[in-house]
Each structure stands twice: as structure tokens, then as C-alpha cells.
Structure 1
Amino acid sequence: MSDRAVNASITLRPARLLALAGAVGLATAACGDRQRAAAPAPAAPAPRPAAPLADPVLDRVAILSAVDAAASSAAAGRTPTANDSLANRRFRMRIAFGCFGPEPAPAEGVADAGAPRWSRTADGKAIRLRFTPADWTAGDATGPAAPGFEHVGGVWVNQPWMRSEGCPAPGPPTPQVFELPTTPKVALALLRAEGASRLGRADDRAFTFTLRGQGDAPAPDPAQGYRLVLEGRLTPWAEGAVIRCRVNRAESRPPCAVGVVLDRLAYEDGATGETLSEWRPG
């Protein structure tokens, strides 16, 4: 063999080795790519359980809808459910009053308990808001005295056919020769257990608040009346149902009373919603 042939052979070997190494590297990389492609995607984290929703505060709409259902059941002769789903639910009821002007104080000996009202003071300069719960400790329109409670106060719900918390629309003047039909009666019964808060108790002290004008100017009439606000918890009567209805006449809607325990009583301006005065247990 010539020296040229030997030299050529020595020169070609490293190139072949490099080509072989490159082919092996490409094969290895391709294999790695296939392995990575075949690897399963990481499992998604398990969703966290949703936090339980707080019980919403039942408003006028919810309460009056429940009263409608209870009145219908009573009229059909069905016994109220003892395990009432409304029991211990929080509520807020707004009762509009004085929408069409002041109401003079009733004559001596005439009871006005159970409904809020406003009137002007003797000098005409101030406005006095007043509310006294009715005393239903001995019984009410829906039945006899409730056992297990030291005291029961009564609050009539205005316009129970309305779901709005504001004033009703003014209607045409009613001719005095016609007698209006009896309106359906819905009330909140303020149940007070032995030793409980005296908030809402009917006694000699009414819930009163006086509004005065600026300087010597008289307090202006309200644009949209006022609202009595009652807050607390729905509470079952002795038989276990929160709403008690009584059939007095087959052709009339049964009156109903909703058992409640008060946590707060307040007056609001009907137009702005501003809190004018409030009372809490204590």
C-alpha cells in the first residue's frame, strides 16, 4: 500500500465517526421527543368545595309570599307544617306610613296601637312619629294566647297586597256612600319569651321621635311619608309554624300573623331611606 493510500484512510475515519455520532444523537433526541410527547399532562387540581351561602335576609316580598301560601293552606283546611323552614330565618320588614299627610292623634279612649303614624305638634312646627304595638298577650285575630311566651305585641302590615316597600299610588276620592270591603289582615306578632328583651313590648311607652325644622322654620312634610323598619328572626308559634292563620268566614281571606323576635326597630325617611331613629335590645 502506498503512503498516499494510508494517509487517505487515516483522514476519512474521523469524519465517519462524527457522522455516526450525529446520527445516534438525532435518534436519541427523537426518542426523547416521543417520550416527552407521550408523558401524561399533570392532573388539574381538584376544585375547592364552594363555601356555603349565608341565609339571605327575608324581605317584604318573601314574607308576604309565604303568608299568601299559608293563608291558602288554612283556607283549604290543611294543618301548618310543624318543621317550618322559615324558623330562625332573619327578616327585615318595611312598613310605609303617613304617605298622604299627617294623621291626627285619635280621640281619648280610641286605640291606635299596631300601626305607625305621624302628626304635627300643637304649634305646627315639629313632626312627631309614633308607634305603639298592640297588646295581643291574651290573643289576636288568628287565635288565642300563645303558650310559652310572656308577651305578644302586634304590628299590622300596611297594604299586604303590595310587595313594594314604598307608598301606594293615590287613588281617586272614595264616595262616602260606598262602603269599602274588608281588606285582608296581615300582621307581625312580636313574641317575647320569659326574660327576653323588652324591645317591641306594648306598654305605656310608645316609640316616638320628633323631627324639627331649621331654626324657626317648621319641619317640612315628607315627600314619600316614612317607613317603620322591623328586623329580627322569624320565630315559630307554640304549634311549630312561623305563620298562623285562622279561618273566620269561608268567603273571606283568613287573617295571618307571622311570629317574630325583634332585634331592631327604626324609622326611615320614605324618600331618601335615611335612618331617623332606631332602638335595639338593651
Structure 2
Amino acid sequence: MNDAVMAKYTKDKKVGEGTFAVVYVGKQVKTDRKIAIKQIKEGEFKDGVDMSAIREIKFLQEIRHANVIELIDVFTAGPRLSMVLEFLPTDLEGLIKDTKILFRLGDVKAWMLMATRGLHHCHRLQILHRDLKPNNLLISPTGELKIADFGLARQMPNPKDKMTPTVVTRWYRAPELLFGARYYTPAVDVWSLGLIFAELMLRLPYCPGEDDIDQIDKTFRAFGTPTEEEWPGLTSLPAYPKTVNKYPHPSVQELKMRFSAATENGLELFQAMTELNPADRVSCEEALTADYFTEFPRPTKLAELPGRTE
């Protein structure tokens, strides 16, 4: 049965490699549909199973949403586990770095709307992504943005269950994770999406820390240093620094200067997504009702978005 699944696909050429997997492009033999094969590296198996890959497969089978990458099939070749995924040739990081592409206000809005819809669906299914960043937001040939790479995802635990804070790429890591919180909520994903929003507006990472201490300082510099009154329990978190630099919270005027092309509604949503206290952070469901998404200009239509390859 496994051989029969594997025979349905060709593996044509290698297109990428990470710490844990190699990605190939190929085709579905019957339909000639272009696909990607994510092959987990042999050394990452423990007792014959790579748990992050198993978790990713489980979540992708469950999610099924227009703004989440589609898992088509799974097979093994010897000890190597392979996932057959829809082919998504571009990622948001590549578009951000391509200085030849001009981002219109409607383009940023369309990408943010699709990312928020996909993330809302994950959260509705009680799934935390825990690694949102521009190169995990992929673009389909027709322009749809899709959330990918669920290797660090986790089912939302019971309130008393501890989780690791060492998740999410540092530049997009929520402050509660930087401070070592073992109990956290979907707000960690919303923070990451807020930082991606800033990066789309600036075309540069907003808080690019060199290490965890520098990341905390850059976060405070960008958003202000929170107090215990604003965030009850803050200073009791395990990794809260003994000494911190005190920075003021940016005024609306300061934010308008930093994000000169943003509308007032856009800045309001950005602020709501990046509240330092996770209890005050907007949810995806609330974000989707923001005036930003309905004001002029409207989100760009898929057929007119940059990055399409059809």
C-alpha cells in the first residue's frame, strides 16, 4: 500500500533544505499536478518516529482551510517519512525582500486578511502554530496566502499543563515567551502576526534581536517597557530580566511617523495585535472584524496580487 502511494508521485528536483527536512518538487502522475515532497531527514527519528513530523501530519489532516497548506498524501521510503504537499512556489519573505515589487496598501491588507483567516481557523480548532514568520507564509500560483510548517504546532493544552517557551523564531517571539512563560495562549501567534504586519509595512523586520536579551530590549524600545500595573504578574515570570531599560510607550504620532503609509485603522489593528500584556491582545476573531479590513482601499484581488506565477 505504501509503494502504491509513493508510485503516484514523481520526485523531480531538490528545491530547499532545512535542519530537519529536504524539500523536492515533483508531480502527481495521474493529473500532472505540481506538488512538493517534504522528506524528513533520517537522523531526526527517535524510536522510528519523528514526533514533530507526526504532529504536523495530524494537524494538517485536521485543519483543511483555504489559507493553510494542503497535505495531499504521506508515505515512507525506508526509514524516511515524506509528506506530499501542494506546491507553493513563493513565500512572503521573498516578496518583502524583492525591492523591485511595490506593495500597495491593498496588497498588505489582502495578505493580512488571508493570514488572519487561516490562523483563526487553527485557533478555532484549538491549534497553536508557534512559528509564524514571513517564510512560513507561502503564496500559491494563484495568489492565495497559506500558513505552512506546523512542526512546532501544539494542541491547546489544559490550563494547568506547562508548555515550552522556546518556540517561535526570535524576531517574532511574543514577550511572554521571551520572559519564560510556561502557560500561554493563542495570543503568542497573534503577536507574531502583528510583527509580520509591521514588516509588510516597513519592508524590514521590526524587532530583529541578536540574542534573547537584545530581543527583549528591542521589543521594549519599539513598544515601551511594561509595568507590573499594566501587566500583573510580569516581573514574576521565570526569565524576566533583573534589570531592564525603561522606554516610553510610543505615541500615536510616533507610530504614524514610523509607519508613514499606514491608515489610522491599520495602526489601531497593529497596536491591538501587539499589546505587551497577552490578556489585552486582540484575538483573530476580533481582528477579522477590524475596520481596517473594510475601509478603502479594499484588499487587492488575488488576480492582481504580486507573487502570482500562473
Do the structures match in fold with TM over 0.5?
Answer: no
Structure with the larger helix share? 2
Higher relative contact order (CA 8 A, sep 6+): 1
Question: When the two structures are superposed, what TM-score results if normalisation uses the length of structure 2?
Answer: 0.17
Bigger CA radius of gyration: 1
Structure with the larger strand share? 1
Question: When the two structures are superposed, what TM-score results if normalisation uses the length of structure 1?
Answer: 0.18
